[in-house]
Structure 1
Amino acid sequence: MRLLPWTGAGGKPCYLSTDDPHSPLSRLADDIEALHLADAAGVLEGARAVLDDPGAGEHAVRFALARAVESLGDTLRVAVSRGECA
């Protein structure tokens, strides 16, 4: 069973049961995982820029934190799916 990089109704996890890593759904999941990881790099860069800016206001800091939390959740889901995190 593979944990997919998206959730179902009510935020419940979605799983894929297949022995074919090249099935259309497996490839879609791979592509979305790659997007999540690339997005995480951009979010990290943006959050660092906000934290390095002494003039950043509360709105900028809250936005950066919200995006960082979202990105961290996506990244952890990828790690769990790949068996790299429990």
Structure 2
Amino acid sequence: MTPHNELRLLPWSGPDGKPCFLSTADSNSHLSRLADNTEAIQLDLAAELLDHASEVLGDKEAAPEELRALTEDLAESLRDTLRVAESRGHRLPLPGLDTHGNDARGPTLPAATFG
């Protein structure tokens, strides 16, 4: 697989809140595995939070404070999930390229061929 971005966006931020990136060709390195595990935990927590949100929203007597806390947790979880999606999307191969970076789409026909 040929990624279209050599830097991997990590699932955590630096001390100043800026994104952290990893540059490695080894997807099995210690830091790569740590990032993979962190992403898996974040996605599992998001699924659990979604179940909890369904319960709270189904409770017609939920207190405003509980709804506010839920909203804050959902926003944080959505931020994490979007970061995981962005990181994984950047590591996908470019469309139409084989594993060596060659055009794998084959020959193309002009649109006029199809009327």
TM-score (norm 1): 0.95
Query: How many angstroms does 1:2 deviate by?
Result: 0.1
Question: May I ask how many residue pairs the two structures share in their alignment?
Answer: 84
Alignment of 1:18-33 (within 5 A): 18-33=24-39
Structure 2 residue aligned with 1:63: 69
**Cα displacement string for residues 6-37 of structure 1 (whole angstroms, at most 9, x for unaligned residues):** 00022100000000000000000000000000
Gaps of 5+ in 1: none
Relative to its length, the structure with more helix (as a share) is 1
- Unaligned 5+ segments in structure 2 are 1-6, 91-115
Larger radius of gyration between Structure 1 and Structure 2: 2
Q: CA deviation at 1:41?
A: 0.4
Percent identity between the two aligned chains? 54
Greater RCO between the two (CA within 8 Å, min separation 6)?
2
RMSD: 0.9
| Other-structure match for 2:44 | 38
